Amino acid sequence: MKALIIDDSRAMRSILRRILGDAGFETHEAEDGQVALDLMNGGLAPDVCLIDWNMPVMDGYTFVTNVRDNQDWRDVTLMMVTTESDSNRIVRALAAGAHEYVIKPFTPDAILDKLQLLGLFTEVPA
Amino acid sequence: MSAVEAPELWDVLSIAGEVWTSFIGSDEPLVPAADEAFPVAWSGAVSVTGDWSGMVVVEMPEHCAVAATSRMLLIDEPTQADVSDAVGELVNMVGGNVKCLLFGDNSLSLPVVALGRVTPPGDAVEVCRADLQWSQGPLRITVHSVAHSGATS
């Protein structure tokens, strides 16, 4: 499974990279929505994108609408990971085509539980 | 939590505790502390604009910022860029959650991080201040209400 982490914070990308890497994902990173779109236009085909909302250049909401406007990317799962917890923002993101919404701060289990719900991760019993 | 007109101390303590536990670790909790002066080496600020305008600021001494970054990123010797980024993300999470407590439609700015203090606008009024302590040192979170939000460093 390939995951594209889209967040302007290197710290947050590092944390998500660790969580996803430990779960067996191949991770890729972008510092804003435009860089993420450029990567995908360049051939990167992520199974899931983890997307911050507030970023310079292109925010996460605009990225979601761009991805959903492109039929080639209809199978990409989109998961918002953001501090934006207003209900109207959550509704907007889901209406635009995001599948899941995680509010920062989060625990590794919260991320993995969402990925499991989306069928992208299966926890191996210890 | 229900929407409020201005965040209260308990709100900020609760948010900061959750951020700290999630990203720094639960073994060394963040606890309320006495209001004591410390040398502010790093500050992060986010502005809230909309129906409520204000600013959330996190201040830390050098060793505390470096230790928090080290815990957050699981690296032994963080660079200045690492510390700047980690402080920015911490204030982003605290500020974002403070914003979500407030009435009305509000937007959050991208974080501003400074070596030293971030100076709130001249018309800023401090509405809440949390003096905190964890094993590696003190930190302070302040929430300012402003007529027109903005930060300078």
Query: What ipTM goes with this model?
Result: 0.86
Q: What is the torsion angle, in degrees rounded to the nearest 10, for the CA atoms of residue A61, residue B97, residue B105 and residue A78?
A: 20
Range A96-125 average pLDDT: 91
Range A55-68 average pLDDT: 97
- Confidence band, pLDDT 50/70/90 cuts, at residue B153: very low
Q: Which residues of A touch B69 (CB under 8 A)?
A: 11
**pLDDT value for A126:** 60
Interface A-B: count of C-beta contacts within 8 A:
58
- Confidence band, pLDDT 50/70/90 cuts, at residue A85: confident
- Confidence band, pLDDT 50/70/90 cuts, at residue A124: low
Question: Rounded CA gap, B53 and A102, in Å?
Answer: 25
At B48, which helix (H) or strand (E)? strand B42-50
Contact A52, A8 (CB under 8 A): yes
Distance from A9 to chain B by nearest Cα, in Å?
A: 6
pTM of the model: 0.90
Range A23-43 average pLDDT: 97
Cβ of A104 within 8 Å of Cβ of B85? The answer is no
